[in-house]
């Protein structure tokens, strides 16, 4: 039997099988997080967030053409692009496993028999398909994100080094090293995770080139690998550009030449040096030097995909993140200057006090030269440590550190706390938990922050799970039947461990290489990322390379089990049985358990919510957004599907950047730019980035136009002298005022007609921060110059601290709040509601992403669904009822019943439905109301039984305080609702629940 043909055929078969599964389960449109930005940017080759992914965007742009002009299909075809990349990853993984297995079981001195062939191919099938259907990899395989393509780069590089290893002693074998270098260079344009395979490559080369291995030799090879990794990560990616920037700085500022002249000279020098190096190595017969220089050339050739960023940035597309159009802005883009960097070698404790500021010199491009800017780069602290792990100064992080580490009041954090957090949280919670998700099982997909009820690993073996988590004897129906509850009974993990042990026993060198890959794509990333707690989402995707390495051992588990079975049955039966058992306990159990919660073909809420945001806005509006979920899907809709291009989307958190500040002054499509009249030079990089508040005790409120002129003044008379002798603008008062022209307000239909009598003569408010940012200056200029001509909206996700204190003038119209000059006396916590617009939006405009019929709703989607029940449907129904508009309130409540999910996902959902249920009762829809009450109370009581059992099984873990409090509040709320109905039996049941829980937890 021809090994090569079988190997190729089965490899492609596994790849095709995986790809088909991924396409069938792929999202049909955009998703949450970065996918909206990536799809929009790939479609028109625009600039994504730092540090960019140009190769990914260009390849995804190719897949977009399969939509054949149907813009609604573009996102799906880009998701297919990720599915294809993931399928090819499976192909290379299959070939990697079979190559490693063949090295052990086959030699040139004896033929390959049928049993060996079955075991080798069985290992390939088991390992590659186990990875295909693992939790983390499958999640990334069905959406247009960089991680699928990054996995492909890792798989291709590792496979290629094994191809080199087989041919290492043959002429021209080093061509494979050049191929590897080129793929590594290309991978920089996708994601940097692929670089972590370099130390494993160095070890393979060492083992192949050295007849007698030593500890020092292995250490030296690993150091060389780390050196190459560092050289690419910092030398090529950043310092090469930094040197180019310094060259240009010298040629422009010192020699007086034009911009780019220094870069041109630098590029010529680099190319000339490489050409000379190649010539010298050939002339002197230095093969290793020649290979190294050629590899460098191909890394740079692959890295050249980033020229797309420079070219497209200079074309000024509508999505132009950080505008990296010159060498210094490009350097900042690559070095992720807008993001905070985590300390790695030395840093503060979270409770350390700042004692000073470290400064650095940065540069911005002015009209004729580069201007130097003095900027603070980091703080100095009174207490620092090596290997800092508990470093974040953010208040909510400090609170978490203290609770997690048991640091009592008055005690300072120490190095023992530092290591405890590293091992227990960063390794245990943020890596080992993810690893076990993939190979043992998963409790649910709720984000875990240490609770026993959320996001833990789970095996499905009740005795073990109860020992670890508790409460397993009182699981609710929702928990048991939750699609994201996946139980593998330790089987994939055990097969992988057996495969690893067998590998180390039979070929220590190869096993060490796989182990090194496992560590560098797992624990090494933990150390490098140095994650603070309470991340905005689970981060398991960062460790997919580590799980990739482990599935190699899952494949080799076929050999381990076969050797064990050979003790009891003949070799042929042992081989077949081992392969069958591993297929069942690996890929089959994984696909069976994971299909329902990885099938995203029914999802469309991200797209529909984006449409809802845009449809909330009146024509030609300005919409201020804040985060990923209220921005990226909107970009997708405008850029790809062309929806509501009259709305100018402005990310208020980006407006602190001088580059974005310039961009928003320009229009996009049918939307005009922002009416900001501040000259660019007054808010250029390093100028007016953060202006302090210094109270001059001015009487009354000050007109915002006068304040803006004062803040933009270049006269030292209007500035505050700082400690270093420099003068800086400052905010002299927090009491703002904006005159309102009622005629303009009425003519532009800013307020509903029935509210026209309540239009204020002035907006008066108190600024809510101790400093003024560039974003605040921009918003102030918009207020001064807009004259109520364009509607101004703020996404409901914009935090209050970014509203400048204008909260009382925000009128809710659904997914966004509109700025209106209305005076209203409101109780604390209340907001104005334009209920007529809100009703119209709910009934006529809004879409809800199939969440009512969907068999599975992911964690981001159900988080929003609960919010919509309360903040959209509930708020509208309650307000309509209060205004006596009973029929409209009924329609809204019925719409909620028919559109919101049929099941609950968290305890807070019980409260979220209260206004909808109350409205259903008060409008005569008792049947629907009873269904919701029965469902919600069943969910609540079962979960409360579970929390009680948790307290019994795990008394040291503490109570589920937040959920228990929510449950008790919910019971009180439902009791009040039912008290006004004829549902006496339900009222009695709920009242009894309330008394039971209050007695149990509150002692009442």
Per-residue pLDDT at 147? 93
CA 445/CA 452 separation, integer angstroms: 13
Per-residue pLDDT at 724? 73
| Spans of the chain below 70 pLDDT | 1, 107-110, 825-830, 1004
Per-residue pLDDT at 409? 86
Per-residue pLDDT at 567? 87
Per-residue pLDDT at 829? 59
Per-residue pLDDT at 107? 61
Structure tokens at 643: 């929806």
**400-421 CB burial, b ≥16 within 10 A, e <16:** bbbebbebeeeeebeeebbebb
Determine contact, residues 14/584, Cβ cutoff 8 Å: no
DSSP-derived secondary structure letter, 214: -
Structure tokens at 234: 């910092």
Residues near 720 by beta carbon (within 8 Å), at least 6 away in sequence: 692, 694, 727, 728, 729, 730
> What string of DSSP letters covers 500-554?
HHHHHHH-HHHHHHHHHHHHHTTHHHHHHH-PPSS-SS--GGGGHHHHHHHHHHH
Per-residue pLDDT at 862? 82
Per-residue pLDDT at 108? 55
In 3-state terms, what secondary structure has residue 457? strand
Q: How far is CA 404 from its chain centroid?
A: 24
CA 765/CA 715 separation, integer angstroms: 27
For 177, the enclosing helix (H) or strand (E) is helix 175-188
Sign of CA dihedral 788, 790, 796, 800: negative
Angle at 458 between CA 452 and CA 461, to 5 degrees: 120
Whether this model's pTM surpasses 0.95: no
Residue with tokens 């875990």: 448
């Amino acid at each position: 039997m021809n090994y090569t043909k079988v190997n190729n055929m089965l490899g492609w078969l596994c790849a095709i099988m995986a790809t088909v599964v991924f396409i069938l389960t792929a999202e049909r449109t955009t998703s949450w997080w970065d996918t909206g930005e990536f799809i929009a940017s790939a479609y028109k080759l625009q600039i994504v967030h730092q540090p960019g992914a140009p190769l990914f965007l260009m390849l995804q742009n190719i897949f977009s053409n399969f939509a054949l002009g149907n813009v609604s299909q573009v996102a799906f075809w880009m998701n297919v692009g990720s599915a294809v990349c993931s399928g090819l990853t499976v192909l290379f993984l299959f070939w990697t496993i079979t190559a490693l297995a063949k090295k052990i079981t086959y030699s040139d001195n004896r033929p390959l028999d049928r049993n060996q062939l079955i075991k080798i191919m069985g290992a390939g099938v088991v390992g590659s398909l186990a990875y295909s259907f693992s939790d983390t990899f499958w999640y990334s395989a069905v959406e247009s994100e960089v991680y699928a393509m990054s996995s492909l780069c890792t798989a291709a590089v590792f496979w290629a080094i094994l191809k080199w290893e087989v041919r290492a002693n043959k002429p021209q074998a080093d061509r494979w090293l050049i191929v590897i270098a080129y793929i590594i260079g290309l991978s920089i344009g996708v994601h940097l995770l692929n670089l972590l395979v370099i130390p494993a490559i160095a070890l393979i080369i060492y083992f192949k080139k050295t007849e007698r291995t030593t500890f020092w030799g292995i250490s030296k090879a690993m150091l060389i690998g780390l050196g190459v990794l560092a050289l690419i990560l910092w030398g090529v990616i950043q310092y090469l550009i930094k040197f180019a920037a310094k060259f240009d700085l010298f040629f422009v500022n010192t020699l007086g030449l034009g911009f780019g002249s220094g870069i041109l000279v630098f590029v010529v020098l680099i190319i000339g040096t490489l050409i000379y190096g190649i010539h010298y190595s050939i002339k002197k017969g230095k093969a290793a030097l020649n290979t190294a220089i050629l590899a460098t050339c191909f890394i740079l050739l692959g890295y050249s995909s980033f020229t797309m960023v420079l070219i497209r940035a200079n074309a000024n597309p509508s999505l132009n993140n950080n505008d990296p159009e010159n060498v210094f802005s490009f350097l900042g883009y690559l070095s992720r200057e807008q993001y905070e960097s985590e300390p790695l070698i030395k840093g503060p404790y979270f409770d350390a006090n700042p004692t000073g500021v470290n400064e650095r010199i940065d540069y911005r491009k002015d009209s004729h030269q580069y201007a130097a800017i003095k900027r603070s780069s980091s703080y100095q602290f009174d207490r620092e440590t090596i290997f800092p792990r508990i470093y974040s100064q953010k208040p909510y992080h400090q609170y978490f550190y203290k609770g997690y580490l048991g640091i009592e009041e008055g005690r300072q954090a120490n190095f023992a706390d530092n290591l405890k957090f590293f091992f227990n949280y960063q390794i245990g919670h943020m890596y080992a938990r993810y690893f076990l998700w993939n190979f043992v099982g998963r409790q649910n997909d709720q984000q875990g922050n240490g609770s026993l009820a959320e996001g833990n690993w789970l095996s499905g073996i009740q005795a073990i799970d109860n020992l670890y988590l508790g409460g397993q004897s009182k699981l609710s129906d929702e928990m048991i039947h939750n699609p994201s509850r996946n139980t593998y009974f330790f089987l994939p993990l055990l097969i992988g461990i057996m495969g690893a042990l067998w590998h180390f026993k039979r070929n220590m060198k190869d096993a060490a290489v796989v182990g090194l890959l496992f560590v560098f794509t797992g624990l090494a990333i933990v150390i490098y990322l140095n994650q603070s707690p309470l991340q905005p989402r689970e981060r398991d995707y960062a460790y997919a390379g580590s799980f990739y390495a482990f599935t190699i051992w899952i494949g080799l588990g076929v050999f381990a089990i076969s050797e064990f079975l050979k003790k009891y049955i003949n070799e042929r039966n042992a081989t077949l049985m081992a392969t069958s058992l591993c297929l069942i306990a690996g890929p089959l159990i994984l696909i069976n358990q994971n299909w329902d919660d990885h099938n995203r073909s029914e999802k469309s809420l991200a797209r529909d919510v984006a449409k809802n945001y845009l449809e909330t806005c009146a024509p030609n509006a300005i919409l201020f957004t804040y985060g990923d979920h209220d921005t990226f899907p909107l970009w997708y809709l405008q850029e790809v599907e062309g929806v509501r291009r009259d709305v100018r989307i402005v990310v208020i958190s980006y407006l602190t950047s001088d580059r974005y500040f310039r961009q928003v002054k320009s229009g996009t499509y049918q939307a005009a730019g922002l009416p900001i009249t501040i000259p660019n030079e007054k808010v250029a990089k390093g100028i007016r980035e953060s202006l302090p508040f210094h109270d001059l005790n001015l009487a009354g409120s000050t007109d915002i136009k006068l304040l803006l002129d004062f803040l933009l003044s270049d006269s030292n008379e209007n500035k505050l002298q700082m400690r270093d002798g420099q003068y800086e603008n400052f905010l002299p008062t927090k009491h703002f005022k904006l005159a309102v022209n009622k005629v303009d307000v009425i003519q532009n239909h800013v307020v509903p007609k029935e509210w026209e009598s309540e239009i204020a003569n002035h907006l008066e408010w108190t600024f809510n921060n101790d400093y003024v940012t560039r974003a605040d200056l921009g918003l102030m200029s918009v207020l001064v110059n807009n004259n109520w001509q364009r509607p101004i909206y703020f996404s409901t996700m914009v935090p209050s601290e970014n509203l400048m204190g204008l909260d009382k003038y925000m009128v809710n119209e659904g997914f966004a709040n509109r700025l209106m000059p209305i005076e209203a006396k409101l109780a604390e916590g209340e907001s104005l509601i334009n209920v007529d617009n809100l009703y119209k939006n709910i009934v006529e405009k809004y879409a809800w992403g199939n969440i009512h019929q969907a068999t599975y709703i992911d964690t981001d989607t159900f988080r929003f669904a609960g919010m919509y029940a309360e903040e959209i449907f509930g708020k509208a129904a309650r307000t309509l009822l209060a205004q006596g508009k009973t029929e409209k309130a009924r329609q809204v409540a019925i719409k909620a019943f028919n559109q919101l999910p049929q099941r609950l996902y968290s305890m807070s959902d019980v409260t979220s439905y209260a206004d909808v249920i109350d409205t259903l009762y008060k409008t005569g829809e008792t049947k629907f109301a009873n269904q919701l009450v029965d469902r919600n109370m069943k969910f609540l009581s079962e979960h409360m039984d579970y929390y009680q059992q948790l307290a019994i099984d795990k008394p040291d873990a503490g109570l589920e305080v937040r959920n228990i409090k929510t449950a008790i509040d919910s019971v009180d709320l439902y009791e009040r609702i039912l008290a006004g109905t004829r549902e006496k039996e339900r009222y009695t049941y709920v009242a009894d629940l309330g008394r039971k829980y209050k007695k149990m937890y509150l002692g009442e």
